[in-house]
Structure 1
Amino acid sequence: MAPRSSSPSSSNPSYASDEQESTYLTRTRILHQIRLGIAILILAVAAAVVGCEGAPLYHYNQTASFERLWLTLWPLNLDVRQTNALLACGSVIAFQALVYIIVALLPSPHPRTKPLNFLATITAGAGLVTAVVGVIFAVYLPSATYPSGFTQNETIHSWTCKWRTLEANNVTGQDGRPLHAPAGFSRDCIETRVGFVLLGLLIGIEAIMGAASAAGWFLERTVSKQRRVEQVELGKN
């Protein structure tokens, strides 16, 4: 029978064989690197969502007051909750990913296999829920209210993209001149569209993170079972 060894991945003595422990440690290290890479990807995509939604919202805040100068760029039925929701969801997901990355990279004299499994599971679950809720809210905009005379609202995305479409199709106004989108509207249309797509992409990435977390628990359960079997065999001898 192979000699027993104490695994550096657990605070309790190991009763699995050296070969089993070595395989477990190797797979754990690989899984740790995979989850860290996924977390970095989530942070990058979430930061991109924040950037894509933050810029149009800033442009709106800077130009909304132009109506005081009789230069109305935005409709009365504009609803900015879609942009605010995507911006908030991106910020929350980015923060969660950053927390995981920091904890995973912090040096520690003690093994943190189970705590990292737990943190990865919580982060993936919370991120997935946040992304799904954000996408659903952005699509349906529940509890929307309309100003008098309107039956629906415009969002920063829908309004800017309407102008971009009119300009692209060379639509003319009543004076026969081609309509041109106000400055920045084309960029705002593209950025808000990209922000929404990226938040949808985060749903898939968070699901992958959840699968990686489940793999961590599976490895932990497998090696724990092997240790119990070896302990029983050791007791018999």
Structure 2
Amino acid sequence: MKINPAPLHAAQAVLIGLCFCMSVAILGTAGHTLHVFNTQQSFNPWWLPLWPQHFDSHGAKALIGSAVTVMVLSAIFLVFALVPRFNPASRYTFRAALALGTALPGGLATLCTVVYAHILNNNSPELDTIQTWTCKYKSDKPMPQDMGLPSGMGNGAFESLCTESKFAIYGTLVTFLLLAMSLGVSIVAWLADKWAARQRGKEWTDQNNVEMASQVPKY
């Protein structure tokens, strides 16, 4: 039975490519929410400038860190898989090791980050994360004394920040699932590559035997 591992290689590249795209999106959303928090926390009354210790931004930082990790690992794999000069298709063990080196660390980082972020979110209301705070007060109307606040202050951006922070954490979960799928595909692709290589070797041996037999003189 002949097995063509090419579709598995394509699926592998697609999954890692999706992980790369998700990581870029997570990096953008988590980075934006953290930037807004760091910029406005010291003067925006909706961010409690006199009570900065109420907020825990480590979850957003962890999301950014895991996104960068997956993005870099995915980029390395895609370069080796898609650039013809580096394509390791003929070195299936190297390709499998490269895929495992992408999926395992990335999967571990994303899983730990999702768990860590959920733990921090569950500390509310004693401590709030950017997500719990913005989602809690996104629909509140400004107080009368806040009506004269300059543009960019108040809680006008809380709804979008809530959505972005939710996307970052659930996007990280999706990335973990994609990496888990790519890990499974990588193992199957490695087995398929080994089987295909064995079949090619067997066909080459059989062909040589036939050629040698045809060259034997008949008496």
TM bucket normalised to smaller: 0.7 to 0.9
d(CA) in 1 for partners of 2:22 and 2:167?
Answer: 11
Give the partner amino acid of 2:10: Q
Counterpart contact for 2:20–2:74, Cα < 8 Å? yes
Task: Give the direction of change, closer, same or farther, for the CA distance of 1:174–1:58 in structure 2 (3 Å limit).
Answer: closer
> What is the deviation of 1:191?
0.4
d(CA) in 2 for partners of 1:103 and 1:66?
Answer: 48
Number of residues of Structure 1 aligned to a counterpart in Structure 2? 197
Aligned equivalent of 2:216: none
Give the partner amino acid of 1:196: I
> What is the deviation of 1:183?
2.7
**165, 168, 188: which one pairs with 2:161?**
188
> What is the deviation of 1:165?
4.3
Structure 2: gaps of 5 or more residues: 148-152, 214-219
TM-score scaled by structure 2? 0.77
Say if 2:73 is the partner of 1:96. yes
> What is the deviation of 1:83?
0.7
Give the partner amino acid of 1:194: F
d(CA) in 2 for partners of 1:197 and 1:53?
Answer: 11
d(CA) in 1 for partners of 2:201 and 2:75?
Answer: 36
**122, 128, 137: which one pairs with 2:107?**
128
Say if 2:60 is the partner of 1:60. no
Say if 2:133 is the partner of 1:156. no
> What is the deviation of 1:226?
4.2
Say if 2:177 is the partner of 1:204. yes
d(CA) in 2 for partners of 1:151 and 1:50?
Answer: 26
Aligned equivalent of 1:44: 21
Structure 1: gaps of 5 or more residues: 1-19, 145-149
Tell me the secondary structure at the aligned position of residue 46 of structure 1. Answer: helix
d(CA) in 2 for partners of 1:214 and 1:163?
Answer: 46
d(CA) in 2 for partners of 1:190 and 1:181?
Answer: 17
> What is the deviation of 1:104?
1.0
> What is the deviation of 1:80?
0.4
RMSD, aligned CA: 3.2
Give the partner amino acid of 1:113: Y
Aligned equivalent of 1:139: 118
Runs of 4+ aligned structure 1 residues displaced above 3 Å come to: 172-175, 223-235
Give the partner amino acid of 2:107: L
Task: Give the direction of change, closer, same or farther, for the CA distance of 1:98–1:187 in structure 2 (3 Å limit).
Answer: same
Tell me the secondary structure at the aligned position of residue 127 of structure 2. Answer: coil
d(CA) in 1 for partners of 2:6 and 2:32?
Answer: 39
d(CA) in 1 for partners of 2:162 and 2:178?
Answer: 24
Counterpart contact for 1:163–1:181, Cα < 8 Å? no
Aligned equivalent of 2:217: none
Tell me the secondary structure at the aligned position of residue 117 of structure 1. Answer: helix
